[in-house]
Structure 1
Amino acid sequence: MWLKILGSMLVITAGTSIGFSLASRYVERPRQIRQLISCLSALKSHINYAAVPLPEALSQCTCGVAGPVAEFFHTMSLLLANNGWLTPQAAMEQALKESKQLILNQPEREILAVFSANLGSMDQEEQVKSLELVHEQLARLQCEAERLCEQNVKMCRYLGICGGLAVVIILI
């Protein structure tokens, strides 16, 4: 009897934790896109006004940002600083592969890939225009991510709890 109760509570707890972890991914994505937009805006000002080298600008653009997005830009900065032969596009691809906690879907990754292909290969004015375009595209994706977050967070949490309860009911 007590073993069934204990097992049932463990199954419900596992289902709930799975639902809440899926919901946290929906919550985290808009926040990381906001941080990405903030870092790219800072990078635009470093490129436009300070005219510092790209690795230094990438490491300085994360002021006030912590977490996976800051680690991503620091990794990219280190890759460019340590490997002079590495292009910004290759550095960004490698940094995206190394950052495990960065929750970006394919559209954000494609935008960053196109942006990094243009980074460093154009003059200052064109890079600023490219950064503004990326900012607009990421802002649209942020609105979409927030909409998906509102729709799916409660659903994931409820499905986790209800899924655990359903498994318990089936097993008992």
Structure 2
Amino acid sequence: MMKLIGGLLVILATSWLGFTFAGRVRDRPKQLRQLRSYLAILKTEIEYGTRPLAEACASIASQEETAVSRLFQASADQLLKGDGSSTYECFKRAIEQEWQRTALQQAEQTVLLQLCQVLGSSDRQDQAHHLTMACNQLELEENRAREEQDRYEKMYKTMGVLTGVLLVILMI
């Protein structure tokens, strides 16, 4: 009886890990799409709006509660602190603070950090241009993420379950 319960727990644990990895692979394209959408809204705010950057980020974050929107809320919070930090430093701290809660990877972080070097430190046209470039780069990453999802999502789920079954067989 104890072996049966132990075996079931092993299978459940490894299956849970497999489904967790599969969930991150599945969430990445969706979060990239959200990020691109939020950057497009930010571009519109910069080109046509009169709100300060902190208010624009807070407005974007208030649209829905997601891991990506928390990046914008953290950025707005950092900008509103008014501790004398540059816009880049505020965005960098926000990204470092919230990044682990997303399914995004290092490539997207690099794109965002490069974009943040321009935000608030150049004219509207230059910022809009860099936002467009960032959206284009993120679109390429989204396409790669979709290919990765197609290739690996099912594999992670299957490997989680099969690893648990293999461990149980080896323990018997």
Q: How does the TM-score come out when normalised to structure 1?
A: 0.95
Residues 40 and 61 in structure 1, CA contact (< 8 A), matched pair in contact too: no
Offset from partner CA, 1:18-58 (integer Å, 9 cap, x none): 10001001011111111111110110111111131110111
Q: In the alignment, is residue 79 of structure 1 matched against residue 73 of structure 2?
A: no
Give the structure 2 partner of residue 92 of structure 1: 91
Distance, in Å, in 2 between the alignment partners of 1:105 and 1:68 is: 13
Q: Secondary structure at the match of 1:118?
A: coil
The correspondence of residues 7-156 of structure 1 with structure 2, limited to 5 A, is 7-99=6-98, 100-156=100-156
RMSD of Structure 2 on Structure 1 (CA): 1.1
Residues 37 and 138 in structure 1, CA contact (< 8 A), matched pair in contact too: yes
Q: What letter is aligned with 2:74? A: T
Q: Secondary structure at the match of 2:102?
A: coil
Distance, in Å, in 1 between the alignment partners of 2:11 and 2:46 is: 52
Offset from partner CA, 1:127-159 (integer Å, 9 cap, x none): 111111011000110010011011100000000
Q: What letter is aligned with 2:30? A: R
Give the structure 2 partner of residue 4 of structure 1: 3
Runs of 4+ residues deviating >6 angstroms: none
Q: What letter is aligned with 2:133? A: L
Show structure 1 runs of 5+ residues with no match: none
Residues 15 and 161 in structure 2, CA contact (< 8 A), matched pair in contact too: yes
Distance, in Å, in 1 between the alignment partners of 2:108 and 2:35 is: 10
Residues 87 and 116 in structure 2, CA contact (< 8 A), matched pair in contact too: yes
Residues 14 and 164 in structure 2, CA contact (< 8 A), matched pair in contact too: yes
Residues 108 and 138 in structure 1, CA contact (< 8 A), matched pair in contact too: yes
Q: Between Structure 1 and Structure 2, how many residues are aligned?
A: 171
Residues 46 and 61 in structure 1, CA contact (< 8 A), matched pair in contact too: no
Q: What letter is aligned with 1:126? A: D
Residues 25 and 103 in structure 2, CA contact (< 8 A), matched pair in contact too: no
Q: What letter is aligned with 1:79? A: Q
Distance, in Å, in 2 between the alignment partners of 1:61 and 1:12 is: 42
Return the offset for 1:104: 1.8
Return the offset for 1:84: 4.8
Return the offset for 1:64: 3.3
Q: What letter is aligned with 1:81? A: L
Report percent identity of matched pairs: 29
Q: What letter is aligned with 2:16? A: S
Return the offset for 1:63: 4.9
Return the offset for 1:93: 1.4
